Chain A
């Protein structure tokens, strides 16, 4: 790995993804991103009207909506410590925007179900270690940084 992120600060699934990307060349990174884009789960029914219930990420070149839920402490998950409560992520992006869907899928695979504190600890520049700048272009990569920032904002708002 050529990056600077301390792997210890990434949740295991995200660290694994970063390793997967770092292990292959630029062409295969694109292929990996494509496969991830196809694995992005469909939105649950309750988010069907995405525009009104989800937050838009205008930094992505294509309409992307995110919703972040932090499990209710009283329901038992995570106990009484708000920072230990698990985070659930939902994304909506059109089929004709596979790159944006791929970025969303990295977030979902890497962070869904993780405790709030773990999500907040992910370094803001972790994506540089994916090595996608060459394969995708730095301009297109801005969307992924914005996605993480918005997820963290929503998590912070939910636990304070």
Chain B
């Protein structure tokens, strides 16, 4: 790997410390000017489409999930050709180390990182604590948009088989471990959408039979960074009984919050096989003849 890992002791506890960097590590690296050599590109990916323009980490480029990674016509992600264009325009090559960060505890950053992984980008890391932590620490921001030299990203075919689950995969998975990362009210079916968020059109409330309720935010510390490995093991392993060897499916409403949990289980706790069901409740809650459970109990299929 071209760019050394962040040796931070908290990160070293995680199963894959190479997938995370601290704000301090990134600030030091940017100060040293080594990001100019093209082997590291910082990517901001936010819920708010204008937040990057109000000020961002110096040198960071923007990738918007809604308008760029998503293909609204097919309700799918972009293909390999378009992905190569998006990366190349931002000066990102296949060997570039990418550090992703964003607002809302890195929800959309984790979602972008997950999409980058569908294309198998070798070295992509998340900034622990995201945009909020960077700003809260008073670190430098700029409104100056970088103009990176175009890179030559190869056209890579997207691989949906490893970390992505479709509705039929979930039907076949019923009875095996699943994590519903939405709020308790969405899980029980009391509410059809996130508190304070728009209704996105599910006709039924509830959860997929057998799914454990572990709201995504339980993995986050107060400053938005991830909890320590011991704290995360206490939640997902001791409390919920999941094992790193389990085949796990995570879902939420449209797949953004479950990308956060997918990241936690895969890279921080070292689970072998975790898939994100991006159709999530907007698909399952509307699908004809698929089973659901209402109330606080997990239930079974």
Q: Which A residues fall within an 8 A CB radius of B? A: 30-31, 33-34, 37, 58-63, 95-100, 102, 134-140, 142-143, 146
Taking A61-B47, A134-B67 as known contacts, 17 extra A-B pairs with beta carbons closer than 8 A to each other, sorted by chain A number, are A34-B53, A37-B50, A58-B197, A61-B48, A97-B51, A98-B50, A99-B48, A99-B50, A100-B48, A102-B50, A135-B49, A135-B67, A136-B66, A136-B67, A137-B72, A140-B49, A143-B198
Say whether B54 contacts A61, CB under 8 Å: no
Residue of A nearest to B193 (CB): A58
With a cutoff of 8 Å between Cβ atoms, the chain A residues found around residue B50 in the complex are 30, 33-34, 37, 98-99, 102
Say whether A96 contacts B49, CB under 8 Å: no
CB distance from A94 to the nearest CB of B (A): 10
Say whether B198 contacts A142, CB under 8 Å: yes
With a cutoff of 8 Å between Cβ atoms, the chain B residues found around residue A37 in the complex are 50
Bound form: Cα–Cα A134–B68 in Å: 10
A-contact 0/1 string along B83-127, CB 8 Å cutoff: 000000000000000000001000000000000000000000000
Bound form: Cα–Cα A137–B49 in Å: 9
Say whether A137 contacts B103, CB under 8 Å: no
Is B196 an interface position by the 8 A CB rule?
yes
CB distance from A88 to the nearest CB of B (A): 26
> Which applies to chain B's interface (DSSP): helix, strand, loop or mixed?
loop
Bound form: Cα–Cα A96–B50 in Å: 9
With a cutoff of 8 Å between Cβ atoms, the chain B residues found around residue A31 in the complex are 53
Residue of A nearest to B131 (CB): A96
Q: Which residues of chain B from 37 to 72 have a CB within 8 Å of any chain A CB?
A: 47-51, 53-54, 66-67, 70, 72
With a cutoff of 8 Å between Cβ atoms, the chain B residues found around residue A60 in the complex are 198
Best-surrounded residue of B49, B54, B66, B67 (most CB of chain A within 10 A): B49
Q: Given the known inter-chain contacts A58-B197, A98-B54, A143-B198, please indicate yes or no for A137 contacting B48, CB distance below 8 A.
A: no
With a cutoff of 8 Å between Cβ atoms, the chain B residues found around residue A30 in the complex are 49-50, 53
CB distance from A142 to the nearest CB of B (A): 5
11 contacts between A and B (CB under 8 A): A30-B49, A33-B50, A34-B50, A58-B198, A59-B198, A97-B51, A99-B49, A99-B50, A135-B49, A136-B67, A143-B198
Residue of A nearest to B132 (CB): A96
CB distance from B241 to the nearest CB of A (A): 34
With a cutoff of 8 Å between Cβ atoms, the chain A residues found around residue B47 in the complex are 61
Bound form: Cα–Cα A31–B53 in Å: 8
Say whether B66 contacts A96, CB under 8 Å: no
